[in-house]
Amino acid sequence: NSIMKKEQTIKKAVCVMSGGMDSTLSAYMMKQADYKIVAVHFNYNQRTQAKELECFHNICEVLNVTQKYVLDLDFFKQLGASALTDANIEIPTDGIEEGVPVTYVPFRNGIFLSMSAAIAEKEGAEVISIGVVEEDSSGYPDCRENYIQSMQNSINLGTKDETQIEIKMPLVHLQKSQIVQAALDLEVPLELTWSCYKNEDEACGVCDSCRLRLNGFKIAGVKDPIKYA
């Protein structure tokens, strides 16, 4: 009976983890808050798919995650429409793009959160964590706080009455430099994370994601531990 009681007190968080810095820090924050992590990773035909998957597995190992879902979404390959998933569209490297960038993948976070909600309901998890960043991000509409809150509402309307899921986005109002600092404070293995949109061996240093990352490290006054071309 005491074992049953212990089972009931385990809080679970479904952590959407790309292998990047933001989602890795979010997962570490969930662990620090005593959640058992159910890690979810998506392969969606992104250019750095193999590298991101490798990072995900390495990070899960350091976090002692026992429950992992790796989901292959062929849908995005068919869809294309983004420089991340369509090899015919160039990744911008000059750092000046107006409006929604060409690296935006249509409704990606909406799709990820829907699938995560199904996993959370099955696993009896009370939290989904996602590493979206609003202010310092690349202008993706699916990273907005009000959008994620509305998604939480929809998820709870569309699941069993006893399923109550909170979507936590602990980084949503942080700058990249604050994310770097918070990651260092929590001893997140940043050397295992990957942010580059373009390359899988050495980060390019010039795509939007690399620029944001490098600038974050620079402002934080720390050297980025990953290799750049």
pLDDT means per 10 residues in the chain (229 residues)? 65 98 98 98 98 98 98 96 96 89 96 98 98 83 96 98 98 96 98 98 96 97 98
Decide: helix, strand or coil at residue 126: coil
Quote the pLDDT of residue 188: 98
Cα separation, 103 vs 89, whole angstroms:
9
Quote the pLDDT of residue 9: 80
Give the number of residues written for the chain: 229
> Which sign, positive or negative, has the C-alpha torsion 28, 33, 35, 36?
positive
In 3-state terms, the chain is what percent helix, strand and coil (to 5)? 40, 15, 45
φ/ψ of residue 70, rounded to 5: -115, 115
Quote the pLDDT of residue 149: 98
| Angle at which helices 145-157 and 108-123 cross, to 10° | 40
Closest to 195 in 3D by CA, of 179, 172, 174? 179
Closest to 26 in 3D by CA, of 183, 150, 166? 183
**What's 92's DSSP letter?**
P
φ/ψ of residue 171, rounded to 5: -105, 0
- Which two three-digit tokens encode residue 67? 């429950």
Cα separation, 16 vs 194, whole angstroms:
15
Cα separation, 107 vs 185, whole angstroms:
32
- Which two three-digit tokens encode residue 218? 């620079």
57 and 189 Cβ atoms separated by less than 8 Å = no
